[in-house]
């Protein structure tokens, strides 16, 4: 019998599923795995990160723009605990990433071995699928299971623990086989019940003022063409969540923009208030999209829902009609059912969309042209919008960047050209996610925008960027404060500010020390020229922008608006 080690089997199984990149960090328990990666001819590239959390965010960013499974790895103990935040974010965002954490030997369990940890219990609630490989011969089977679970149905994250002695155990080479289709997502998409299609079509045709709200599931499914066909033939306005940006070009006459408490404004909220039917597509109708379930209020309008996960349908609103299935296939079936109907005259139409956009961007432009110091965030967003091509990939960290870019940075192409970590909103995401996004779409300009609070979480990954020479542009919104929390203390707690301010760092000098080209901007008049220089830089670059803090700004966040 032709045999190989468990570590070698793991490498071959990753290769067979079409993995191109592995993001990770070395450790004692990973030595057999690393040795197999070194010896075997597999064609994969290992990207050494400086933190396991960053490795998971890199895999996440890669998966979002490539349509392939992102793979990250780390050692036992602290490595496993550090990688966990990236898994829970990806899983709740329906992004398939596989985290492989090596572990102490099976034979050493219960003997107080260094870094011993119950990895199965740790990762069970954080992932869609979780396994510990106790026998080397199970490596191929469990890898096949992991890829199948990650990419079918509602995509999600998976975790595999690989003990040290299992990596050295024997595996039958004949068991090394894979389905390469499971390396991409959504794999094996399913269509809706024809009866459900007819029911939803009838509800949609009967509505006077329907509005579509697309979540991240639309972009994940690649259903943008079918969405635009539906919207145009029925003249229905289309709003999106933050994760749904890219469902429709935001310069389309029916594109409303982002709705909700983060990035939504009064002009976009009007569509949620005036609709008599809300069609949710790949959208969970969570607290942000609905401004804590106030827009729409329960019972204020009918709700129809399309989602690949039946668990989200009817979770927050009574549902008049529902289709369970892949968004692309569901919309294709709906369009076929509708044929070519004549759109009725409506209050919510292209003219209403144009009026709302004009009002929204007039207020924005007034602030974007301000020469005030510190620089207004609106001016930064306007500068990026002017300088970046339509195919750029922009990643926004939570805090100051997210609401401004969500509301005012126009995504003019369908697909994933903008994203933020909206499931849990942990700081420190955009810098490593940009590294993954670059590897997933190397032909596009990748820009990561972060607050200085986020920079402090993983600035060390600038060494990774410099080592690899990646032409990514990093923008730091610098104001010396955890601004989101301070703004909340201002509006909700009578300006009782507590433990939210910190010293201002010269991020440009820090970046320069790591080997990046860098610029610091305090004068609004210098912002465009310095940003253009950074974007044109052939290697990694950072622009440190001294910006107005959130508690003093007019951010598009509804809970701060009087």
State whether 145 and 18 are in the same domain.
yes
**Same structural domain for residues 8 and 69?**
yes
Tell me the C-alpha distance between 314 and 55, whole Å.
36
Please enumerate in sequence order all residues whose Cβ is within 8 A of that of 352, keeping only pairs 6 or more positions apart, or say none. 237, 271
Both 176 and 229 in one domain: the answer is no
Phi, psi values for residue 352, rounded to 5°: -65, -40
Q: Of the candidates 319, 351, 383, which is a domain's last residue?
A: 351
Does 157 share its domain with 86? yes
Look at residues 169, 170, 167 and name the one whose alpha carbon lies nearest to residue 31. 167
493 lies in a domain? yes
| Cα–Cα nearest to 478, from 380, 343, 355 | 380
Is residue 466, in this structure, part of any structural domain at all? yes
How many alpha carbons lie under 13 Å from residue 95 in its C-beta half-sphere? 31
Give the side-chain half-sphere CA count within 13 A for 75: 20
Lookup: tokens for 53: 């959390």
> Which of 528, 516, 532 lies closest to 471 in space, CA to CA?
516
Q: What is the pLDDT of residue 562?
A: 58
Say if 255 falls within a structural domain: yes
**Pick from 140, 162, 183: which residue ends a domain?**
183
160 in the same domain as 75: yes
CA separation for the pair 42, 157 (Å, rounded): 24
Regarding whether 342 and 208 lie in a shared domain, the answer is: yes
- The count of structural domains within the chain is 3
CB atoms within 10 A of CB 114: 10
Nearest C-alpha neighbor of 227 from the set 246, 211, 248: 248
Q: Nearest CA to 208 among 28, 391, 348, 412?
A: 348
- Tell me, yes or no, whether 132 and 222 share the same domain: no
In this structure, are 239 and 374 located in the same domain? no
* E strand map for 273-378: 277-281, 302-307, 321-324
CB 256 within 8 A of CB 353: yes
Q: Which of 559, 561, 551 is nearest to 374 (CA)?
A: 551
Q: What is the mean pLDDT of each run of 10 residues along the chain (562 residues)?
A: 94 98 97 98 98 98 98 97 97 98 95 94 97 97 98 98 98 97 98 98 96 98 98 97 98 98 96 97 96 94 97 96 98 95 87 98 96 97 98 95 97 98 95 98 97 95 98 97 94 96 97 98 98 98 96 90 69
Query: Which of 79, 237, 274, 225 is CA-nearest to residue 159?
Result: 79
| pLDDT confidence of residue 561 | 80
Task: Report strand pairing: 3-5 vs 170-172.
Answer: antiparallel
- Cβ–Cβ < 8 Å for 21, 29: no
* Cβ partners under 8 Å of residue 236, min gap 6: 210, 211, 212, 230, 254, 279
In 389-512, beta strands by DSSP E? 393-396, 418-420, 446-451, 473-478
Task: Choose one of 140, 155, 183: the last residue of a domain.
Answer: 183
Asked if residue 360 belongs to a domain, the reply is no
CATH code, 278: 3.40.50.1220
User: Has residue 363 been placed in a domain?
Assistant: no
Work out the angle between the directed axes of helices 52-66 and 430-440 (0-180°, nearest 10). Answer: 40
What's residue 343's pLDDT? 77
Do residue 164 and residue 239 come from a single domain? no
SS3 255: strand
Strands (E), 107-195: 129-132, 158-163, 170-172
**CATH assignment at residue 154:** 3.40.50.970
On whether both 327 and 234 belong to a single domain, the answer is yes
Q: What is the pLDDT of residue 1?
A: 61
Flag whether 358 is in a domain.
no
* 274 lies in the same domain as 336: yes
347 plus 217 within the same structural domain: yes
Among candidates 265, 232, 263, which has minimal Cα distance to 248? Answer: 232
Q: Is residue 359 part of a domain?
A: no
Cross-strand partners of 47:
23
Q: Does residue 189 form part of some domain?
A: no
Which residue range forms the structural domain that includes residue 435? 369-560
């Amino acid at each position: 019998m032709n045999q190989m080690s468990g570590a070698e089997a793991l490498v071959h199984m990753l290769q067979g599923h079409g993995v191109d990149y592995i993001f990770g960090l070395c450790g004692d328990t990973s030595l057999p795995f690393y040795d197999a990666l070194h010896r075997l001819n597999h064609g994969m590239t290992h990207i050494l990160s400086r933190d396991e959390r960053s490795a998971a965010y890199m895999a996440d960013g890669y998966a979002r723009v490539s349509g392939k499974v992102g793979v990250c790895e780390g050692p036992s103990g602290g490595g496993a605990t550090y990688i966990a935040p990236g898994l829970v974010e990806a899983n709740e965002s329906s992004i398939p990433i596989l985290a492989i954490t090596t572990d102490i030997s099976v034979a050493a369990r219960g003997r107080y071995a260094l870094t011993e940890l119950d990895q199965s219990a740790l990762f069970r609630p954080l992932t869609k699928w979780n396994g510990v490989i106790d026998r080397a011969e199970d490596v191929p089977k469990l890898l096949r299971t992991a890829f199948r679970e990650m990419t079918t149905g509602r995509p999600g994250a998976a975790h595999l623990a690989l003990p040290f002695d299992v990596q050295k155990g024997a595996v039958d080479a004949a068991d090394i086989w894979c389905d390469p289709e499971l390396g991409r997502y959504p794999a094996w998409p399913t269509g809706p019940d024809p009866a459900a299609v007819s029911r939803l079509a009838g509800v949609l045709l009967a509505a006077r003022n329907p509005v579509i709200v697309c979540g991240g599931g639309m972009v994940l499914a690649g259903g943008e063409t079918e969405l635009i066909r539906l919207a145009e033939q029925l003249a229905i306005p289309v709003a999106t969540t933050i994760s749904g940006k890219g469902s429709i070009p935001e310069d389309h006459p029916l594109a409303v923009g982002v709705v909700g408490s983060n990035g939504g404004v009064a002009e976009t909220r009007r569509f949620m208030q005036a609709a008599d039917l809300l069609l949710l597509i790949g959208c969970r109708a969570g607290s942000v999209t609905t401004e804590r379930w106030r827009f729409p209020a329960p019972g204020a309008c009918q709700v129809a829902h399309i989602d690949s996960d039946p668990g989200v349908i009817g979770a927050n609103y009574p549902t008049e009609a529902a289709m369970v299935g892949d968004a692309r296939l569901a919309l294709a079936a709906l369009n076929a059912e509708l044929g070519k109907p004549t759109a009725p005259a409506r209050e919510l139409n292209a003219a209403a969309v144009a009026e709302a956009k004009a009002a929204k961007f007039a207020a924005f432009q007034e602030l974007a042209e301000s020469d005030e110091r510190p620089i207004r965030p609106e001016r930064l967003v306007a500068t990026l919008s002017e300088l970046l091509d339509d195919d750029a990939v922009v990643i926004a960290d939570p805090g100051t960047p997210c609401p401004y870019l969500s509301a005012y940075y126009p995504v003019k192409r369908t697909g994933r050209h903008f994203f933020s970590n909206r499931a849990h909103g942990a700081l420190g995401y955009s810098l490593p996610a940009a590294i993954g996004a670059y590897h997933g779409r190397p032909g596009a300009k990748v820009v990561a925008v972060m607050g200085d609070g986020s920079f402090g979480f993983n600035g060390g990954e600038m060494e990774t960027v410099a080592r690899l020479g990646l032409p990514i542009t990093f923008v730091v919104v610098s104001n010396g404060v955890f601004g989101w929390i301070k703004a909340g203390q201002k509006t909700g707690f009578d300006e009782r500010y507590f433990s939210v301010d910190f010293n201002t760092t010269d991020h440009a000098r820090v970046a320069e020390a790591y080997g990046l080209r860098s610029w610091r901007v305090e004068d609004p008049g210098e912002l465009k020229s310095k940003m253009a220089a950074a974007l044109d830089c052939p290697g990694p670059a950072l622009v440190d922008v001294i910006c107005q803090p959130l508690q003093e700004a007019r951010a598009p966040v509804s809970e701060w608006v009087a």
